[in-house]
Each structure stands twice: as structure tokens, then as C-alpha cells.
């Protein structure tokens, strides 16, 4: 059969397959696997892995939640963010779309959608972030779900959360009834404020005390509470950027009871521990929750191995090094977040697959398939199968690289992994059948990305 593109001779790896096969793509879709194929374009990928494109459902490429001093936004937009993603093997982004004070959920989505339509080089979804669970906002949840926005982000750490738990719970319930999945940032704001106050009183407010400022129990207590919201509503919950053994234990207990609790971790926690905060430039590692201890790091790897954790996403929230190291900042005002879009998949491949900690199948599951299922994009996204979007990455399993944030595409200009040696890197990134990254060169046209109209969240 004559098709638009043939990806020939690679070792195709999905969660449920691993073998050499040719892939035929036409009109952006995978139309044939194996058999006779002729392509208008063909790429020979013998000896390479062929993975479903990465899906990073947790990035920040628009208006920030917690401005530092003055009005400022994260330094990447959909354009630079897409570029970093493309180079790193990501073909679908999930952006946190915050309401501004005068906006409804719908307004915010509209605003971000406009920006993404203008700038995004790859496909994307938008997560409406509920910052004010007003009656109007609650009413929009089912509407937006019916329009394909089947997710909702809440922050247990927000100042207004504690006083309005029941409104947030109602939001979560409405989301579930609409087939939407609720993402939850689980930290206990009240406990954190208590700790801050003590640290400030003891003269320990500098960013280097960041790990002390948000101890693991401030995470696990909030996680227990989020699970309580699931118990109250039967609504599924997706705990974002889980960082500690304690919070993971809470989620695992809940899952063992059959509750629909899903866990995402952030790459940072898999490679770094709080010891880096002894370094002079430690502020560059600030992100919430903070880095933990070796026992936590081990627990997270064990969770990837056992299936207790379902997704690894970047929580890409980029700032420049100058912004991060601003000496005026302390634990209360520090700019939270790090750039990790470009490094997400290579680091996990190198440290996980190459070092024998996780299988290739799990790698695909953690970086693509599970996210596609949970966020209503499967099997359009998240796999390599006939009928699916041809979102494919070709992976050179033997490429050696040294991480160098300065030469990467995020405007952050540095990486928390600067100097790390990794093995394995994308060779081609293909989005809906278009080769948009080709041996080191991005060819994606600005704005070519599309919003993925999503269905309901799916059981794993």
C-alpha cells in the first residue's frame, strides 16, 4: 500500500507489543503495521526503538498561579515549550490553565486556546484550574467536559481551599459525573504556613531551607484529605507530582481498597534528594513539593516498578537562573518550578530503562499510554496502533548526551541535571504523521498543534 510515510524496520514498543515492524501512516493516522508498504516518504529506523509519542499532561506554559514579586509569567510559552517538548520526545502537552481573577473557567480556556492555536507546535489539552469554586464555575464544569475538556485541576494548598472544602468536593463530584478527572495538588497550606512561621522566627527562611519548609507530612496529610474527597464523591483523583514515601503509602492503601486514586510523580524526585540544597545555588531546585530523602527516592522507583505510580510528568514550570537565584526571595516568595520538558523522557530512559530499573513497556506506560487513558485521549493518543494518531518517536537507544540546559530550548537556560550523562535520545519526533524533529532539527510550524477533543477518563 502506498502511504504518506513509512517508518521502516524499527523495534516498535508499546505496552502490549515489542517487535520489529514497519509502520504506515497516511493523513496523520497509522493505517497499517507490517505487510507491504510504500511511502511517499520513508525513514529507515532499523536498530532504533519506536515509541508512542510522549504525553506530558502537566506543564505550565501560560499565566502563572503564584506570581513572585511583581507581575511575571513563566518564561516559556506554547512556542518555546513545544520546541523543548519536541526535542525531548513529547508529542502532546497538558497545560494548566489558570483563571485570572476576572475570568471564568471558560474565559481562561478561551484565552489559553488562542495562545496555543497561535504558538503550539504539537497537540495539547488544557486543564481548567479551579481557583474559585463559585456557582458559576461549578456550572461550567459539565459544559466544558461535554466540549472535550475532561479534566479539572484543584489545589489543596490554596489559601481558599480549607474554608471551602465542600465546594471543591462538589466540583470534583461534578467533574466525575461528567467523565472528567480531577488533578489534585496535595499539600496542606495551613501546616506549611505553620512551618514557615517557625522557620522565619528561627532565621531559616532562605531558599536553602526549602525542604524543611514543606516537610513530607504536609504532603501526606493533604493526600489523605484528597483521598477523603474521593471517598465522599466516588470521583477519581489524579495526585500530581507526588514526592514522598509517606504520600505514596497513603495512595497505595487507597488503591488497595479499590479507590480510583492515580499517582503522578515528577522526574526531579527520581534523581535528586534534599542534599543538593547544601549547594550555594540551591534555589534553582525549588519546586513544590520539595526534594526529599533517599528513602523517598527509592519508594518512588519502587512505585514505578510495581505499578503504584501511573505517570511521570514534568510539571515544567520554567524560570531563568537569575529569577530563581534572586537573593531577595525566601521560602515564602521563592519562584517555584523547574524546566524539565526536554529532559523528561531521556532522563527516565537513561536512569530507568538503561539501568534496569524499569522495563521498556513500563517506560511507555509511564510516559504515554496511562496518561492517554486517564485523560480521555486513548487510543487516539498513547499507543502505536492502526487508527491512532501517528504520534511517534524514534529513539536512539545508544546516543550519549551530556545535559546542558544552556543549549536547550526552554527559555529557562539551565537544567537541574546540567552535567548528567544520559544514554538514549529521540532521533525523530512525529506528530500526526508529520516528522517535526529530524536528526536534531525542529521542522514544526508554529501553531500546527491542535487541541485534542477528549472523551471520558478511562480505567487503566
Positions in 245-264 near a copy of itself (CB under 8 A): 249, 252, 255-258
List helix spans (H) across 57-205.
78-88, 105-119, 135-146, 165-177, 189-201
Cα–Cα distance between 53 and 185 in angstroms, integer?
Answer: 26
**Residue 205 CB: number of other CB atoms within 10 A?**
20
35 binds a copy of itself (CB under 8 A): yes
406 binds a copy of itself (CB under 8 A): no
Q: Which is nearer to a copy of itself, 82 or 178 (CB)?
A: 178
What is the DSSP-derived secondary structure letter of residue 70?
S
Cα–Cα distance between 148 and 126 in angstroms, integer?
Answer: 10
188 binds a copy of itself (CB under 8 A): yes
Peptide bond into 289 cis (omega under 30): yes
136 binds a copy of itself (CB under 8 A): no
| Residues within window 275-334 making contact with a copy of itself, judged by CB under 8 A | 298-299, 301-303, 305-308
Cα angle: 401, vertex 406, 409; to 5 degrees: 85
Q: Which is nearer to a copy of itself, 90 or 138 (CB)?
A: 138
From 117, 162, 418, 438, residue interacting with a copy of itself (rule: CB under 8 A): 162
Residue 269 CA: distances (Å) to CA of 174, 238, 296, 360? 32, 18, 8, 20
The residues facing 152 across adjacent strands are 182
From 47, 67, 69, 228, residue interacting with a copy of itself (rule: CB under 8 A): 228
Q: How far apart are the first and last CA of the chain?
A: 34
Q: Which is nearer to a copy of itself, 283 or 353 (CB)?
A: 353
Q: Which is nearer to a copy of itself, 116 or 195 (CB)?
A: 195
166 binds a copy of itself (CB under 8 A): yes
Q: Which is nearer to a copy of itself, 17 or 320 (CB)?
A: 17
Select from 53-61, 161-169, 202-210, 421-429 the region that touches a copy of itself (CB under 8 A): 161-169
CB of 219 to a copy of itself, least distance (A): 10
CB of 149 to a copy of itself, least distance (A): 22
What is the DSSP-derived secondary structure letter of residue 338?
B
Select from 14-22, 58-66, 68-76, 440-448 the region that touches a copy of itself (CB under 8 A): 14-22
Give me the torsion for CA of 274, 268, 59, 122, rounded to 10°. Answer: 160
Cα–Cα distance between 278 and 184 in angstroms, integer?
Answer: 30
From 8, 9, 14, 393, residue interacting with a copy of itself (rule: CB under 8 A): 14
| Residues within window 352-371 making contact with a copy of itself, judged by CB under 8 A | 358-359, 361-362, 364-365, 369
Cell representation of residue 56: 506530558
From 16, 47, 67, 69, residue interacting with a copy of itself (rule: CB under 8 A): 16
Cα–Cα distance between 180 and 144 in angstroms, integer?
Answer: 9
152 binds a copy of itself (CB under 8 A): no
Select from 77-85, 97-105, 376-384, 429-437 the region that touches a copy of itself (CB under 8 A): 376-384
Amino acid at each position: 500500500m502506498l502511504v504518506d510515510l513509512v517508518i521502516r524496520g524499527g523495534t516498535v514498543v508499546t505496552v502490549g507489543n515489542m517487535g520489529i515492524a514497519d509502520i504506515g501512516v497516511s493523513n496523520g493516522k497509522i493505517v497499517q503495521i507490517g505487510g507491504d508498504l510504500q511511502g511517499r516518504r520513508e525513514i529507515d529506523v532499523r536498530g532504533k526503538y519506536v515509541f508512542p509519542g510522549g504525553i506530558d499532561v502537566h506543564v505550565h506554559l501560560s499565566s502563572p498561579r503564584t506570581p513572585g514579586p511583581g507581575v511575571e509569567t513563566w518564561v516559556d510559552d506554547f512556542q518555546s515549550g513545544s520546541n523543548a517538548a519536541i526535542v525531548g520526545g513529547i508529542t502532546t502537552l497538558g497545560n494548566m490553565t489558570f483563571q485570572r481573577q476576572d475570568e471564568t473557567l471558560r474565559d481562561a480556556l478561551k484565552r489559553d486556546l488562542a495562545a496555543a492555536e497561535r504558538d503550539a507546535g504539537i497537540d495539547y489539552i488544557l486543564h481548567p484550574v479551579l481557583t474559585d469554586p463559585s456557582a458559576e464555575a461549578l456550572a461550567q464544569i459539565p459544559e466544558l467536559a461535554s466540549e472535550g475538556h475532561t479534566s479539572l485541576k484543584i489545589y489543596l494548598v490554596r489559601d481558599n481551599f480549607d474554608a471551602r472544602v465542600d465546594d471543591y468536593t462538589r466540583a470534583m463530584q461534578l467533574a466525575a459525573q461528567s467523565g472528567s478527572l480531577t488533578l489534585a495538588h496535595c499539600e496542606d497550606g495551613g501546616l506549611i504556613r505553620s512551618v514557615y512561621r517557625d522557620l522565619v522566627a528561627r532565621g531559616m527562611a532562605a531558599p536553602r531551607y526549602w525542604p524543611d519548609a514543606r516537610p513530607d507530612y504536609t504532603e501526606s496529610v493533604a493526600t489523605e484529605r484528597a483521598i477523603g474527597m474521593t471517598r465522599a464523591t466516588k470521583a477519581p483523583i489524579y495526585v500530581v507530582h507526588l514526592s514522598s514515601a509517606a504520600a505514596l503509602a497513603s495512595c497505595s492503601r487507597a488503591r488497595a481498597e479499590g479507590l480510583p486514586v492515580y499517582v503522578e510523580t515528577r522526574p526531579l524526585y527520581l534523581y535528586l534528594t534534599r542534599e543538593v540544597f547544601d549547594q550555594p545555588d540551591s534555589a534553582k531546585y525549588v519546586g513544590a513539593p520539595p526534594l526529599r530523602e533517599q528513602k523517598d527516592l527509592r519508594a518512588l522507583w519502587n512505585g514505578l516498578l510495581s505499578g503504584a505510580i501511573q505517570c511521570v510528568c514534568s510539571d515544567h514550570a520554567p524560570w531563568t537562573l537569575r529569577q530563581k537565584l534572586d537573593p531577595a526571595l525566601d521560602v515564602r516568595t521563592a519562584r517555584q518550578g523547574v524546566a524539565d520538558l526536554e529532559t523528561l523522557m531521556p532522563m527516565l530512559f537513561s536512569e530507568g530503562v538503561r539501568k534496569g530499573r524499569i522495563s521498556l513497556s513500563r517506560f511507555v506506560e509511564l510516559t504515554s499510554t496511562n496518561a492517554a487513558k486517564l485523560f480521555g485521549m486513548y487510543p487516539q493518543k498513547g499507543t502505536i496502533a492502526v487508527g491512532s494518531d501517528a504520534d511517534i518517536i524514534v529513539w536512539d537507544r545508544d546516543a550519549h548526551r551530556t545535559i546542558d540546559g544552556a543549549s536547550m530550548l526552554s527559555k529557562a537556560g539551565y537544567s537541574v541535571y546540567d552535567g548528567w550523562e544520559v544514554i538514549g535520545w529521540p532521533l525523530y519526533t512525529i506528530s500526526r504523521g508529520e516528522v517535526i524533529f529530524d536528526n536534531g532539527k525542529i521542522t514544526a510550524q508554529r501553531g500546527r498543534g491542535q487541541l485534542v477533543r477528549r472523551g471520558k477518563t478511562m480505567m487503566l
